[in-house]
Structure 1
């Protein structure tokens, strides 16, 4: 029998080791039309010999020669056998599987150690970059399932680690393996528990019951874990998305005690795993920061970027650590990959750490390596510079060129992020925004609410008022309006008020839809945050007068839908009054139109608008400023109201 002649030894792997012709066979697999170049049937095709000479094929398969002429035919026979069924041309060759070998004392024809040994060898072959024999892997899986209850604990952990590499996608195998491992869970050592966590996480088997059992067993012997085993444990819990609070707390406590024995990679993997499950344990991160600073010069560029991004992901700022990272990054900047630079600059920007020399170093090196950036790397870099308000002209121009060159192949979402970043810096790159219009229109139906709002905001902020683009965004927003959160709705409202567009039906419908959505959710009040104060300006001078006339006036407040209001106080019947100081730029026709749209929008949300121009016709500050403001408020019925009533002010 063909398969019966195969031995449960390393022959099946030997012909795939490096140095053999395995790679040539893999790249040019044999077919039925290939001609045999040796032996009595030389000149016949592989297919003819396979159909007519099963005994000869069995001899070839069992031949241990490493000569390519044998190996190509061996590979073809195995592949043909693995693809065969009851009606194939292989029907003359027995399909007896490894499970039907003559039984040994244990009833399977294999010992547990043989199966584990073969699985480990197969995993080693695959890790070396070769392709193990698929048929034997399948047979190993069948045998393992049949023998599962016979494996001892040390074999089970080795089986799991091997199959995580050679057969991670067989649900039956992993379900059975999980059941047996859970049954024996209390018998595993700390090292074996770490291996089990790694195996199941990397096999994509993320069932909570299995990981809860691993956590319970690990907690019972936490003192037995070495630093590397602890790190392996939490890293793979994080990979599997298993945020077991008890386990992470225990590892955090143990790690703080033994932090001095952690290697740089252990330190990095620890905080990365905690960040992945959004855990920012203050004591742990502080200990990791101190220990990292002591050996920061030994960190590789990749490790520097990872530790920075891990702290930033959970918004944990450590000034001393980031100063050390900045210094070391500048020292090793030429060794950084494009991805490493993008991740590092993103981390500093996320924590609002304005290290100007670091940003300059990253900008200079990024320009040199710009072609190595992915679209996400470019987007993260642009976002970082925009977030800390550093407008590096040469870098931004290079990012724009690279984005335009790859406009059809880059991820559209990353392109939109670049546009948002440029708009944040007030940079209107006409060519870039022009090329983005068809990209937006082509992907409009796939845009999330956040992306819709960001795109509208970016184009409005730079004054790119493309009617077709805004019409498409309006229609898409109307269709998905129930999914918009407050911040997204506010950004969308600002964009369509700011954009200088004709009041066509789609735009009007969107405005009405936004207002209806805001009313339905009671988003019609003042937000908690305040805008920046502007001392020594005409606005601040007017504010002092208004505050004296109207007690309780609140300055630079935002409406929940994002519009800033210069001065706010409460009028008759509790109505919110917005007193706007119009500086000279408000006299331009475009700004007057924007002001009119803004005021009409806020009025529909119940806000009364009062506008005051503090300049005379020549553009000079009015000499009767206080009297003019008093008259304005009196005519609006505000001063009289506050003279006779002491209503609660808006705060």
Structure 2
């Protein structure tokens, strides 16, 4: 490698062209690359660096060359960034040059927010993006998304350019993937653009051209799933392609994991495809190539689709049982795996205890998100596995004011449910959850199920919070039409257990039960719970109680009652002074069980 004599005589044009030639041929010579960078930045003995003499095309070429060969030279890239930031420098860049420059700087992690904003300003100049080809726009979109720099005006302008009649048809597999991925990564849901990309993917021959770009296919459908765009025509076309000619065998672990995740996220349960993915995953040694995030994504996808593939589950759990492998798992991956195991009711105690131990590592709670925290708690509760240390750590993290402010209604209700299910009574936690639930915007987002679960949790733990219960009741009155039989029974049971009489709520729930004919779908347990709760709080809704009598008398429904439930129902009628109905209950009980015990107040119980 000529590091002294020849290179000292190189001018900017020679230097940029040499780098470009080696990069175009994909020939990486580290000694040469270091020498080229030195000539550009500092120069050799007796000479000075010549970067200041580079024109815009030469700057773009040398940056592109180093990025293409994945040769990171921080000093050179910082110098290039500094040159671009000079007054007026960026204005001299043409379309191809700036597209290559942005891509290269991002690829080598040499950007700053100020630099990206500076480049965005140039890209938004009137008419400038119109000089770009489709690939250039795709690369720029990818670059801005890669560093998470959201410029909504720029992205809207790029979308508009991409939607021009001649642009979409010219996009290749990698271009479509880069564009879709970029908009998804920045959480920009441009349905018109995504529909156009879908049409391009479904064009004759496009998916076949993707065979050497498995990652492109997976990134495209990942983007649609991330944006929650249910394009069934696209997903069907992709599925058919993946099942043809063993295409899945060409997929990398990341591509396969993203594909499974996308179908899981969109809840598209295609047995043939998921079976084929599982078979590919089970190829000898293939799972060993997966990262922790990819393993977690696969587990999450199959759980989301409720596909209990025993061989795959066994392979995944065996893979994760390796402590060295599990030690690489971050909080999100641990949460997804725990959630998946619980959802599929796979009670692998050894693995779950290992997950608990890993979660208690000092750095786990620094980056954990609220949903991940909730999923961990929910998973252990669903499997009825109580690790006191873990639950205390989860509670401690949850009550941090800044962290608690990120809890949604669903997260809050699930978290409370988890502690209640495991009978972990933490009054300070419950008080903080109550305060969060009563925040106006949070309370307004509670649905019937969230209300019922939250009330149930407080009742199960015998935590009395009158203000919260009134707030939950007020919200329940607003969404009474969302309640189903189970959620009705749960919330009235909870209020009864906490001895909180809210007549308006009970009256409206009773009326909704009658008006919606929900009573006809009540099972015997719910009937008994409803009757007992109304009686316990002395809310005598004659219409509901008579409706319960008619429900019990329907067909063979009476025969589904346990002796205890029938006795509880009899007690409810007697307590409410409905003696005729109570006597009828007694007669039915004697007919069914041969005796009529003295009606007593039901024992405390729960769902």
TM-score (norm 1): 0.64
Identify the residue that residue 270 of structure 2 maps to in structure 1.
Answer: 281
For 1:18-57, what aligned pairs fall within 5 Å after superposition?
A: 18-19=74-75
Alignment partner of 1:610 is 2:605:
no
Of the candidates 514, 517, 523, which is equivalent to residue 518 of structure 2? 523
For 1:285-364, what aligned pairs fall within 5 Å after superposition?
A: 285-294=274-283, 295-331=286-322, 332-364=325-357
Q: Is the 8 A contact 1:305 1:344 kept in 2?
A: yes
Task: Give distance in 2, aligned partners of 1:442 and 1:262.
Answer: 47
- Closer/same/farther in 2, CA of residues 282 and 609 from structure 1, 3 Å limit: farther
Alignment partner of 1:454 is 2:439:
no
Task: Give distance in 2, aligned partners of 1:379 and 1:525.
Answer: 35
For 1:159-238, what aligned pairs fall within 5 Å after superposition?
A: 159-162=140-143, 168-170=151-153, 173-180=157-164, 182-202=165-185, 204-219=187-202, 220-221=204-205, 222-225=207-210, 226=212, 227-238=214-225
Task: Give distance in 1, aligned partners of 2:573 and 2:333.
Answer: 43
For 1:402-417, what aligned pairs fall within 5 Å after superposition?
A: 402-404=397-399, 406=400, 409-410=403-404, 411-413=406-408, 414-417=411-414
Identify the residue that residue 268 of structure 1 maps to in structure 2.
Answer: 257
Task: Give distance in 1, aligned partners of 2:292 and 2:463.
Answer: 40
* Per-residue CA distance 1:392-442 (angstroms, 9 max, x = gap): 3443344344445x3664244445433211212344344543554444445
The DSSP-based 3-state class of the residue aligned with 2:518 is: coil
The DSSP-based 3-state class of the residue aligned with 1:464 is: coil
TM-score (norm 2): 0.69
Q: Is the 8 A contact 2:198 2:234 kept in 1?
A: yes
The DSSP-based 3-state class of the residue aligned with 2:312 is: helix
Q: Larger Cα Rg: Structure 1 or Structure 2?
A: 1
Task: Give distance in 2, aligned partners of 1:282 and 1:419.
Answer: 35
Task: Give distance in 2, aligned partners of 1:65 and 1:521.
Answer: 66
Task: Give distance in 1, aligned partners of 2:183 and 2:230.
Answer: 15
Alignment partner of 1:494 is 2:479:
no
- Closer/same/farther in 2, CA of residues 281 and 500 from structure 1, 3 Å limit: same
Q: Is the 8 A contact 1:557 1:564 kept in 2?
A: no
Identify the residue that residue 473 of structure 2 maps to in structure 1.
Answer: 474
Task: Give distance in 2, aligned partners of 1:365 and 1:375.
Answer: 18
* Per-residue CA distance 1:239-296 (angstroms, 9 max, x = gap): 3433322322222233232222222111101111222222122122112112212322
Q: Is the 8 A contact 2:552 2:558 kept in 1?
A: yes
Identify the residue that residue 617 of structure 1 maps to in structure 2.
Answer: none
Task: Give distance in 2, aligned partners of 1:457 and 1:560.
Answer: 17
Q: Is the 8 A contact 2:570 2:586 kept in 1?
A: no
The DSSP-based 3-state class of the residue aligned with 1:316 is: coil
Task: Give distance in 2, aligned partners of 1:231 and 1:628.
Answer: 61
For 1:517-556, what aligned pairs fall within 5 Å after superposition?
A: 517-527=512-522
Identify the residue that residue 425 of structure 1 maps to in structure 2.
Answer: 422
Identify the residue that residue 384 of structure 1 maps to in structure 2.
Answer: 379
Q: Is the 8 A contact 2:248 2:277 kept in 1?
A: yes
Task: Give distance in 1, aligned partners of 2:516 and 2:370.
Answer: 37
Q: Is the 8 A contact 2:476 2:505 kept in 1?
A: yes
Task: Give distance in 2, aligned partners of 1:185 and 1:251.
Answer: 19
Task: Give distance in 1, aligned partners of 2:577 and 2:111.
Answer: 66
Say which structure is richer in helix.
2
* Per-residue CA distance 1:559-610 (angstroms, 9 max, x = gap): 4987899x99977798976966349xx9xxxxx8x9966987998xx99973
Task: Give distance in 2, aligned partners of 1:568 and 1:580.
Answer: 16
Q: Report the Cα offset of residue 321 of structure 1.
A: 1.0
Q: Is the 8 A contact 1:558 1:564 kept in 2?
A: no
RMSD over aligned Cα atoms: 4.6
Q: Is the 8 A contact 2:215 2:254 kept in 1?
A: no
Task: Give distance in 1, aligned partners of 2:431 and 2:588.
Answer: 37
* Per-residue CA distance 1:324-357 (angstroms, 9 max, x = gap): 1112112122232233222211111111122222
Q: Is the 8 A contact 1:577 1:609 kept in 2?
A: no
- Closer/same/farther in 2, CA of residues 351 and 157 from structure 1, 3 Å limit: same
* Per-residue CA distance 1:22-68 (angstroms, 9 max, x = gap): 79xxxxxxxxxxxxxxxxxxxxxxxxxxxxxxxxxxxxxxxx997xx
Task: Give distance in 1, aligned partners of 2:117 and 2:104.
Answer: 13
Gaps of 5+ in 1: 24-63, 82-95, 99-108, 531-555, 587-591, 615-625, 634-651
* Per-residue CA distance 1:528-580 (angstroms, 9 max, x = gap): xx6xxxxxxxxxxxxxxxxxxxxxxxxx5544987899x99977798976966
Gaps of 5+ in 2: 1-52, 64-72, 534-547, 598-607
Q: Is the 8 A contact 1:568 1:576 kept in 2?
A: no
The DSSP-based 3-state class of the residue aligned with 2:585 is: strand
Say which structure is richer in strand.
1
The DSSP-based 3-state class of the residue aligned with 2:354 is: helix
- Closer/same/farther in 2, CA of residues 431 and 113 from structure 1, 3 Å limit: closer
- Closer/same/farther in 2, CA of residues 498 and 442 from structure 1, 3 Å limit: same
- Closer/same/farther in 2, CA of residues 243 and 330 from structure 1, 3 Å limit: same
Q: Is the 8 A contact 1:194 1:230 kept in 2?
A: yes
